[in-house]
Structure 1
Amino acid sequence: MQSLSVYRLHKLLVVVGLLHVRVNAQTSTADRTTETGEAAITDPNEECSPYSYPPVVNQLSAFPSIWEAASILSDDSAAQAKWDSISANIPSNISVKTQPPASNYSSDDPDCWWTYSLCTEPKLSGLPVDISAAPEPSTLGYGFDDGPNCSHNAFYDFLLSQNQKATFYYIGSNVADWPLEAQRALADGHEICAHTWSHPYMTTFSSEAAFAELWYSMQMIKLAVGVTPTCWRPPYGDVDDRIRSIANALGLQTIMWGYDSEDADINGQSITDQTVVTNYNNFITTASNGTFNFTGAIILTHELNNFTMSEAVQFYSQLKSSFQHIVPVGVSLNKTQPYVETNYSLPTFEQCKCPLRSRFEELEF
């Protein structure tokens, strides 16, 4: 995003200030060693000041460099063994792609490349269809990409005040930087999915490198939060049947979307603040017109920065009025076991249609 204008910055600061629902003033004695302590911080500047969380910091050498493209580390026998066990089943006849799509790519889209044709029904046999809508009527599969954001306490406080759960697609490098923020999603009863290690266009990576992006994001979430995701979302929606095969081999369900708020794409020219407002309003109008009376929807939104989170808060009441149910994507799918580990569960869709629970049972870390 480009630099904010003075007016826009003032607007965001006012909105973010209104989000803070905790009344205790932040002091210099904040506990930055536990999820509860980190979640109590109300000053965004303090939230975004670095801290050291030993369970993660002490294991960073077992992961790729933060925010650099992942590859299997030479001394990581577990990752290498897993890749060796699935690599023979990953299609070798689907080529690595370029961005933007090359002009000579076949117009019939043989690889079901979403970036090219918005394809979500794999053409390679044995692969499940991508989830791009909540299957339940008048239901919004609510979720946010690119977290955890270091200053998300105000946003998560708002969701908590509304008893609202969501799906969060976490980038492994962000989890490494902000592990206690990642823990809050689980503590508050949200669903966590993987969003790769460094947020690349996945189809531009070799199969082994794409595997590493998914593997290390999953392992970092496990290390920091205590659970291993069984869902993921490709950055930029960039997925084809080769990448789907890798994700599927890792037990990851591919979650896409049918509508885009474009809240993370502002460039001050073709996409502006008003574009995002218009997109939200159009989506709400579409919902109000009965389009989702038989099958629900998923809209792409982000936990990227104060603007994206503030827009989510601004439009929440209208979304709530336009849909009968707003639930995590996993709940809309009746996916009660969202992680590899079995000591944590989500409610069924029927259970979540009632007033939502305030806070799920926390895991020990």
Structure 2
Amino acid sequence: MLPSLLAVAVLCCVACADSFQPDDLNNIVGEAMDLYRAHLDPNSKTPSLLPAENRTLASVNFDWAPTGSPPSYASWTMYFQQQQTYADLPVLTHCVDSTNVNVWGASFDDGPSENTHVVTDYFARKNMKATFWVIGSNVPAFPQALLDTFNAGHDIGIHTWTHAQLTDLSDDDIVSELVYGARAIYEVTGKMPKFFRPPYGEIDRRVRKIASSLGLEAVTWSHDTLDWSYVASGSTEQQVPDAFREWLQDGVTRAITLQHDIFEETVAAVPQSMDLLIDAGRTIVPLSTCLGIPSVFGNPTLEAFFASGLFENPYSGSPVPPPKHDGGGYSVGFVKGRKTVKAVRVDGPTKFDKSRSHFNGKRSNGAR
């Protein structure tokens, strides 16, 4: 079992401080994730949701997986620069309008972990699907958790390799974070993702342009539970359902909500929260249903990149141009709205840098 008390201790130290600087806030999630990874037990047995009917772990090999930040190569960036880009595609935050306005895109960040099965077991009982945004560097420790999630029919997307804030990285490093994140998912599922979620919800035009050159579109969220931020106070199972009650009272529909499947406390809040949605007539759906598309998998650009041999040998010479793909995006039915990013909430005295929207200390409700 993950020693989540250690992670709680880190959050408590921040929450109980008399004062701290904005830069400290910026590192809260990163520090928690570093501590989480430091205590991963690669030999931990993750309960299997389903037998691996279509995919097995027999051929999975993580010899390619870097430790820490992934290496980056100019040749990779040059390869993708030959592809047409769509920097002005909107960041997707809501489900599309449909005949069923009560669809609700439940999503879970930062796995896989030893706690992911709590979430997938719940949805198996309800015969519903959700979306899981995977940190690539967690996959080698818990490949079975990811495989079970995939075999159960949930949608899976890239959440980078190390949960790095992409807007602070160089072009080469952004490409590397996304390429390695995609490679981790492909290693286990045999499928190439075509959507990514930027860590902290931080994304700008440059990141969108680079990601689109990899055949990727960005998805964030409309409503944030802030579930991770209540772990230190022990109030997660109260605060998270309260957030859903508030949104339902406000008549929210077509939402994409953010939760996490890494901590024991955050997954414990899932059954009650999702039951509230179901009892209120909402239908929990994966991203593909949310966006009205056949699948979140299938990315010819990334598939061609890995077939080119540049991943294994980034110094192999002039890169072969990737095939063109239809990156026209979704121009109809999406609410672009204001930028919504992961907020930070801590107990006790706080000082917020108002210039950084993810330090607004509020739930990001978005537009209904």
Same fold (TM over 0.5): yes
Relative CO higher for 1 or 2, CA cutoff 8 Å, sep ≥ 6?
2
Tell me the SS of whatever aligns to 2:269.
helix
Question: What residue in structure 1 maps to residue 72 of structure 2?
Answer: 72
Aligned mates of 2:93, 2:180 — CA distance in 1: 25
Cα offset, 1:337, TM superposition: 2.5
CA contact (8 A) 1:149 1:174 kept: yes
Contact 2:92–2:219 (CA<8 Å) still a contact in 1? yes
Taking structure 1 as reference, are residues 323 and 226 closer, same or farther at Cα in structure 2, changes over 3 Å only?
same
The correspondence of residues 1-365 of structure 1 with structure 2, limited to 5 A, is: 3=6, 38-39=48-49, 55-57=59-61, 59-60=62-63, 62-65=64-67, 68-72=68-72, 81-87=75-81, 126-136=87-97, 137-266=101-230, 268=232, 272-274=233-235, 277-292=238-253, 296-340=254-298
Alpha-carbon distance between aligned partners in 2 of 1:309 and 1:128, rounded to the nearest angstrom? 32
Secondary structure of the residue aligned to 2:242 is helix
Q: Is the 8 A contact 2:106 2:256 kept in 1?
A: yes
Aligned residues: 255
Q: Does the aligned pair in 1 maintain the 2:160–2:178 contact within 8 Å? A: yes
Alpha-carbon separation, structure 1, partners of 2:288 and 2:180? 22
Contact 1:2–1:266, Cα closer than 8 Å, also in 2: no
Q: 1:319 to 1:273 in 2, by over 3 A?
A: farther
Q: Identity over aligned residues, as a percent?
A: 26
Deviations 1:44-90 (A, max 9, x none): xxxxxxxxx66334x42x2322xx112236xxxxxx65421224789
- How far the C-alpha of 1:4 sits from its partner, in A, is 8.4
Shift of 1:275: 6.5
Amino acid in the other structure paired with 2:251: G
CA distance in 1, matches of 2:286, 2:131: 5
**Alpha-carbon deviation of 1:267?**
6.5
How far did residue 190 of structure 1 move?
A: 0.3
C-alpha deviation, 1:315, in angstroms: 1.6
Aligned-pair distance for 1:154?
A: 3.3
Give the AA of the match of 1:280.
P
Please tell me whether the aligned partners of residues 127 and 248 of structure 1 are also in contact (alpha carbons under 8 angstroms): no
- TM-score (norm: length of structure 2): 0.62
> Would you say the 8 A contact 1:263–1:308 is kept in 2?
yes
The 1:181/1:282 distance shift into structure 2, 3 A limit, reads closer
CA deviation digits over 1:206-263, x for unaligned, max 9?
Answer: 1101110000110121112111111111111121111111111111121111211111
Whole-angstrom CA distance in 2 between matches of 1:285 and 1:165: 23
1:205 positional shift: 1.1
Residues 321-362 of structure 1: CA deviation (Å, up to 9, x unaligned) = 2343210122111111221179xxxxxxxxxxxxxxxxxxxx
Give ranges in structure 1 of 5+ residues lacking alignment.
6-31, 42-52, 74-79, 92-124, 343-365
Deviation per residue, 1:133-157 (Å, 9 max, x gap): 1123222111100111123333322
Q: Secondary structure at the match of 1:142?
A: strand
| Kept in 1: contact 2:222–2:256 (CA 8 A) | yes
Separation in 1, partners of 2:169, 2:194: 21
Q: CA deviation at 1:167?
A: 0.4
Q: d(CA) in 2 for partners of 1:340 and 1:193?
A: 11
> What root-mean-square deviation, in Å, do the aligned CA atoms of Structure 1 and Structure 2 show?
3.1
* Amino acid paired to 1:221: I
1:142-191 CA-to-partner distances (Å, cap 9, x unmatched) read 11001111233333222111112000001111112211211111110100
Q: Does the aligned pair in 2 maintain the 1:171–1:195 contact within 8 Å?
A: yes
Contact kept? 2:171, 2:210, Cα under 8 Å? yes
Separation in 2, partners of 1:219, 1:211: 12
CA 1:278–1:305 in 2, change beyond 3 Å: closer, same or farther?
closer
> What CA distance in whole angstroms lies between the structure 2 residues aligned with 1:291 and 1:314?
18
Contact 1:262 1:276 in 2 (8 A): no
Contact map agreement 2:87 2:206 (CA 8 A) in 1: no
What secondary structure is seen at the aligned counterpart in 2 of 1:127?
coil
